[in-house]
Chains A and B, each alone.
Chain A
């Protein structure tokens, strides 16, 4: 769980702040993470860092890249070597990375306590 200053912020799962869709390109999965409200995009951009996402998926992917789409209030993540060879080679249930999207939504980031309280019951 990310460190957060006590009292002012609390960890909150991304599912309460964003929706997502994922897909594949060869052995790479992509996850597009879209803020549920435009005003939360900056929070996502600040807190959903490459380092944090790589830590979240440790042992599952080799490398993480991040791209910003402020126009869609979205971040795009490339998760390399995530699919056991990908496409037809993969033995995984999720050979095409269709549900890496929701796996990312499990991640917690520190958010202001008031926001955490307000959102805790309202997933995407």
Chain B
């Protein structure tokens, strides 16, 4: 899932000013992250109105990253959208851009920061799991991904800072190489770690890519 975090409310206020706002949420990731579901959109509406900022309407797109679906849904909110000078989108970076493709006359404001593709560990606790590198090699590492989970993306074993199973960067985070080592040891597949992994081919995750 795409993990997002709502921006600081005061930061949003400085982007919005006092102009009328239409609020857009997303039914998928932002709903699960509690950053842009119906509950958060309504809370945002109340908070903005509390600052005397007019809210012309709101909608939850299903999901915000679906261009054709968004066009269909937003058609029904044409009047509310037209009355607004600012469109506040509580979705991921993708959702915000899909909305920008459709609504051209108002300023689109990013209400969320998009953090990573990650796992829901517990309610409101998320951890990065994938860099979308375009060439998955997790099967070499016991099903764990060192590209996204090692802060140095090391492919040939842990750095010298792995201590007691924790990462040198943050002792709250497991060293993924420790997880890899233990899993492969259990499975008696430690020989996999003796193979020198060649540099990754990053052209497989080109920054402007398209898949048909």
Do A and B come together as binding partners?
A: no
Binding site for B on A (CB under 8 A): none
